[in-house]
């Protein structure tokens, strides 16, 4: 029996979702940062800055940046961890990883870069002080498996940080829907010549677990002291949890 899952609002075979998500990010990689600025009016930079502050990286820390994409978090973490630290910039999508790697190198940051699947992390148990995933969890087929892997590779006392689009404040829901399903695909067409990928991104946000559900999922894989911070009225949320 073939297992199925969601690709936006469409029900597809699990292996088909992996291919379709890969196609989306191969398509948008070159324009990803530009589109992020357009999509969020630059707010994604503030959300990432808040995540970086909450991470509390210190010199010598080992850090894993999952779905690191164009490298915003990896860049900040590498500067904070310093030469005695170890920051891994990873992504499952080769196009995104190449863009991020080149961007980091152009800014003089040399850090390990690896193509890897968050559901099957190639790192030993209890290795990292911090693990982060920004705007990547909603694209994963088995979110519970990915969260369990993230906990596995954390050291006791280590922290997981999950930054993701979430459930917006109810009074803003209608205008947010209009923006997401009308303006966003139009922007995708004009800026990246790809309306369909950005229509999927809008749908994937709606299919992602809300704040409380994701909190429960993190607790179910064994993370403790799980909390979340709503950002911009819940357009995004940062969840954190500790491995005890």
Q: How far is CA 24 from CA 6, 95, 107, 170, 178, in A?
A: 14, 10, 27, 29, 22
pLDDT averaged over every residue in the chain: 93
What span, in angstroms and rounded, lies between the C-alpha atoms of 31 and 25? 10
Cα maximum dimension of the chain:
50
Residue the block writes with tokens 């993701």: 164
Identify the pLDDT of residue 53: 98
Residue 5 labeled ligand binder: no
**Residue 43: φ, ψ to 5°:** -65, -25
Per-residue confidence (pLDDT) for residue 115, from 0 to 100: 95
Task: Quote the pLDDT of residue 2.
Answer: 64
Whether 125 has a binding-site annotation, put simply, is no
70 is in an annotated binding site: yes
Given a cut of 60, whether residue 1 has pLDDT beyond it is no
Q: Which residue has the tokens 């429960």?
A: 216
Single pTM value for the model: 0.95
195 has binding-site annotation = no
What are the tokens at 21? 């998500």
Q: Report the pLDDT value the prediction gives residue 123, as an integer from 0 to 100.
A: 98
Per-residue pLDDT of 212-236, as tens digits, reads: 999 999 999 999 999 999 999 999 9
4-242 homologous superfamily: Vaccinia Virus protein VP39 (3.40.50.150)
Instruction: Give me the residue spans of the domains in the chain.
Output: 4-242
The pLDDT tens digits of the residues spanning 157-203 come to 999 999 999 999 999 999 999 999 998 889 888 877 888 888 888 89
What are the start-end ranges of the H helices in the chain? Answer: 14-28, 32-40, 43-55, 72-81, 94-106, 143-153, 173-178, 184-192, 195-207, 211-220
């Amino acid at each position: 029996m073939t297992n199925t899952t969601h690709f936006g609002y469409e029900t597809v075979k699990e292996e088909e979702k992996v291919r379709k998500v890969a196609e989306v990010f191969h398509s948008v990689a070159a324009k990803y940062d530009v589109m992020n600025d357009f999509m969020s009016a630059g707010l994604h930079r503030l959300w990432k800055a808040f995540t970086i502050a909450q991470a509390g990286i210190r010199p010598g820390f080992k850090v894993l940046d999952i779905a690191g994409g164009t490298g915003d978090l990896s860049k900040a973490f590498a500067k904070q961890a310093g030469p005695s630290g170890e920051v891994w910039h990873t992504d499952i999508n080769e196009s995104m990883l190449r863009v991020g790697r080149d961007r980091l190198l152009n800014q003089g940051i040399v850090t390990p870069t690896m193509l890897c699947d968050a559901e099957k992390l190639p790192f030993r148990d209890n290795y990292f002080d911090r693990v982060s995933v920004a705007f990547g969890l909603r694209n994963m087929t088995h979110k519970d498996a990915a969260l369990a892997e993230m906990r596995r590779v954390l050291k006791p006392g280590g922290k997981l940080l999950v930054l993701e689009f979430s459930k917006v404040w109810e009074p803003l829901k209608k205008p947010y829907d209009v923006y997401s399903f009308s303006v966003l695909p139009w922007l995708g067409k004009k800026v990246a010549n790809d309306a369909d990928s950005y229509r999927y991104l809008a749908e994937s946000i709606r299919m992602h677990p809300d704040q409380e559900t994701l909190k429960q999922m993190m607790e179910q894989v064994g993370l403790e002291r799980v909390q979340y911070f709503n950002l911009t009225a819940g357009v995004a949320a940062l969840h954190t949890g500790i491995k005890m």
